[in-house]
């Protein structure tokens, strides 16, 4: 992409309404624009990030055996009456009447709809286990939407739903999603710690929140040092195999906790020298709730002996749009965002320091063509802004690698590489600089 033809409305000033750094940076870099309270348009730079997050989430869901569907945003109130949640959900639910005065709602979550779909589509225990997921916009009329996309009213969520014959089998499905989450967040360059949690309005008796650690995170958490230092499950995880060693390592109940939970238990379980306090952001939440929805909604299968068996369910959420903000909270410095390669809007920022100069243009265009040919996602700054402004903007938008070409370098046949994280610089012959950047990007993609 050439910046001269792109749409990236960068703001010089930090908008006053933004309280936290990710919100400030998302507005300043023109990633998003508020449409109304807690509702955002995703502009080109932000949308690219959102789609990269979306893709990683999808790949890891598929790898763990979940099957993708797409349910609508608008649901019927009747469906929610079947589970008893229509009245209980309260003011967070956006209720709508259609032209026939039928009661509808903008879905805050999809347990009811997926249970009805699954109930009507299966017959026997041989249709189990299954896990269906979608990535779809949700609406929750939060009292105080704030922090930009981190606590929006309209937000993008991945929600998966598991269906099993027995509670034991349901737990295995839960463990598969648990493992998939560790991998998902690791692929985004994040360390997420699972924390035993309350299940709230979703319900159920087993639940974990996944918290990514960031100094500016909303909630204080305490966790076992080993969780922070621990390696994530390997790329070739066999989801049909025994995941219990992974689960055991990550779930000893009070290995992570927060102010709300039992601090005394945490003290008992985790030795003092292994206790660390950190701040974090909830980016995922998983639940096992057995028959909470399948029972009232009649989601049953015929068992091996002909008896009807009520299906065991769990649900598994990832805050896809929240992650865009959460990653920035975890990855920024005084100059701006510092994107991890797998979620960066572009992998390389190519700066032409003197657009309009024949030789510099030729060198920049040549590098641009070669980066694209190598499959690198590159943004070429070919505008006629002054050099200082170009450097500041490139640092602000946080592309992982900068490749800088100016008239002096071109004469010497050289380009400069700047690594955004840490700021290391190196000047190399043109082709060597190109090869080095391409190799560095590919090594950091962590693509499956
Ligand atoms: N049905 C279950 C799991 S599929 C569910 O709705 N879980 S949840 O309420 O915990 O939401 C799942 C994830 O969505 C959360 O972990 C969080 O990352 C994200 N999320 C929740 N509310 C918001 C919000 N207002 N703005 C942005 N993201 C949100």
Q: How many residues does the chain have?
A: 448
Ligand 1 atom 2: the closest Cα is on which residue?
317
Give residue 383's Cα distance to chain centre.
32
| pTM of the complete model | 0.95
* Residues 420/398, Cβ–Cβ less than 8 Å: yes
Burial 172-187 (b: 16+ CB within 10 A, else e): bbbbbbbbbbbbbbbb
- Ligand 1 center to 318 CA (angstroms): 7
Ligand 1 atom showing the smallest separation from residue 160 Cα: 4
Q: Which residue has the tokens 């975890």?
A: 330
Confidence of residue 252 (pLDDT cuts 50, 70, 90): low
Ligand 1 pocket test, pick from 113, 203, 317, 328 with the greatest ligand atom count within 8 Å of Cβ, gives: 317
Give me 93's structure tokens. 């639910």
Calculate mean pLDDT across residues 239-256: 80
394-421 pLDDT tens trace: 999 999 999 999 999 999 999 999 999 9
Q: What is the pLDDT of residue 447?
A: 57
Distance from the alpha carbon of residue 159 to the mean position of ligand 1, in angstroms? 9
Q: Residue 287 CA: which ligand 1 atom is closest? A: 3
More confident residue, 54 or 259: 54
- Closest-CA residue, ligand 1 atom 5, reads 317
> Residue 260: its pLDDT value, please?
66
Pairing of strands 425-429, 414-419: antiparallel
Third-level CATH fold of 346-446: Rossmann fold (3.40.50)
Residue 201 reports pLDDT greater than 90? no
Residue 317 alpha carbon to ligand 1 centre in Å: 6
Ligand 1 pocket, CB under 6 A: 109, 111, 140, 142, 151-152, 155, 157, 159, 202, 282-285, 287, 315-317, 319, 321-322
Which residues, including other chains, have CB under 8 Å from residue 155's CB and lie 6 or more apart? 137, 138, 140, 149, 319, 320, 321, 322
Which residues, including other chains, have CB under 8 Å from residue 36's CB and lie 6 or more apart?
A: none
**What local confidence, expressed as pLDDT, does residue 254 receive?**
65
What radius of gyration, in Å, describes the C-alpha atoms of the chain? Answer: 24
What are the phi and psi torsion angles at 366 (to 5°)? -65, -45
Residue 448 above 60 pLDDT?
no
Mean pLDDT across 180-206: 84
By alpha-carbon position, which residue is closest to atom 21 of ligand 1? 319
For CATH 3.30.930.10, the residue range(s) in the chain are 3-337
| pLDDT for 138 | 98
Please tell me the distance between residue 417's alpha carbon and the centre of ligand 1 in angstroms.
39
The predicted pLDDT at position 417 comes to: 98
Fold entry, domain 3-337? BirA Bifunctional Protein; domain 2 (3.30.930)
For 402-425, b where at least 16 C-beta lie within 10 A, e where not — what string?
A: bbbbbeebbeeebbbbbebeeeee
Residues of the chain with CATH 3.40.50.800: 346-446
Question: How far, in Å, CA of 132 to CA of 120, rounded?
Answer: 14
pLDDT in tens, 303-356: 999 999 999 999 999 999 999 999 999 999 999 999 999 999 999 999 999 999
Q: d(Cα 370, Cα 398) in Å, to the nearest integer?
A: 22
Q: Which of 23, 322, 326 has the most ligand 1 atoms within 8 A of CB, as the residue to mutate?
A: 322
The arithmetic mean of pLDDT across residues 381-398, rounded, is: 97
Q: What is the CA(323)–ligand 1 centre distance, in A?
A: 11
Q: Which sign, positive or negative, has the C-alpha torsion 158, 164, 167, 169?
A: negative
Alpha carbon distance 44, 30 (integer Å): 8
């Amino acid at each position: 992409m050439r910046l001269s033809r792109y749409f990236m409305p960068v703001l010089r000033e930090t908008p006053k309404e933004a309280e936290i750094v990710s919100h400030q940076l998302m507005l300043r870099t023109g990633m998003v624009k508020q449409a109304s309270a807690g509702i955002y348009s995703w502009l080109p730079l932000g949308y690219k990030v959102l789609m990269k997050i979306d893709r990683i989430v999808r790949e890891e869901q598929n790898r763990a055996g979940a099957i993708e569907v797409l349910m609508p945003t608008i649901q019927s109130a009747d469906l929610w009456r079947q589970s008893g949640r229509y009245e209980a959900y309260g003011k967070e639910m956006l209720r709508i009447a259609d032209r026939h005065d039928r009661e509808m709602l903008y879905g805050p979550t999809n347990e009811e709809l997926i249970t009805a779909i699954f109930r009507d589509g299966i017959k026997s225990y041989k249709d189990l286990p299954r896990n269906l997921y979608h990535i779809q916009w949700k609406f929750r009329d939060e009292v105080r939407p704030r922090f930009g996309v981190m606590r929006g009213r309209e937000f993008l969520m991945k929600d998966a739903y598991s269906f099993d014959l027995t509670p034991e089998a349901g737990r295995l499905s839960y463990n598969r999603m648990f493992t998939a989450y560790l991998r998902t967040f690791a692929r985004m360059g994040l360390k997420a710690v699972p924390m035993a949690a309350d299940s709230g309005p979703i319900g159920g008796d087993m639940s974990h929140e996944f918290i990514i650690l960031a100094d500016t995170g909303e909630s204080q958490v305490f966790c076992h040092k080993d969780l922070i230092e621990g390696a994530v499950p390997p790329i070739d995880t066999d989801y049909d195999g025994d995941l219990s060693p992974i689960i055991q390592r990550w779930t000893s109940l009070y290995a992570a906790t927060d102010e709300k939970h039992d601090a005394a238990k945490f003290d008992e379980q985790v030795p003092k020298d292994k206790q660390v306090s950190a701040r974090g952001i909830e980016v995922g939440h998983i639940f096992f709730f057995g028959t909470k929805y399948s029972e009232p909604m009649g989601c049953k299968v015929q068992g091996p002996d002909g008896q009807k068996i009520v299906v065991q369910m769990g649900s598994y959420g990832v805050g896809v749009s929240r992650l865009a903000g959460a990653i920035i909270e975890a990855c920024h410095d005084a100059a701006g965002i510092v994107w991890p390669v797998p979620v960066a809007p572009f992998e390389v920022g190519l700066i032409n320091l003197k657009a309009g100069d024949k030789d510099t243009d030729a060198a920049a265009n040549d590098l641009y063509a070669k980066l694209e040919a190598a499959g690198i996602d590159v943004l070429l700054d070919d505008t006629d802004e002054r050099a200082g402004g170009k450097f500041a903007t490139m640092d602000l938008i946080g592309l992982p690698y900068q490749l800088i070409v100016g008239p002096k370098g071109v004469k010497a046949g050289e380009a400069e590489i700047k690594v955004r994280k840490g700021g290391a610089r190196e000047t190399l012959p043109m082709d060597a600089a190109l090869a080095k950047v391409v190799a560095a990007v590919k090594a950091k993609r962590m693509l499956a």
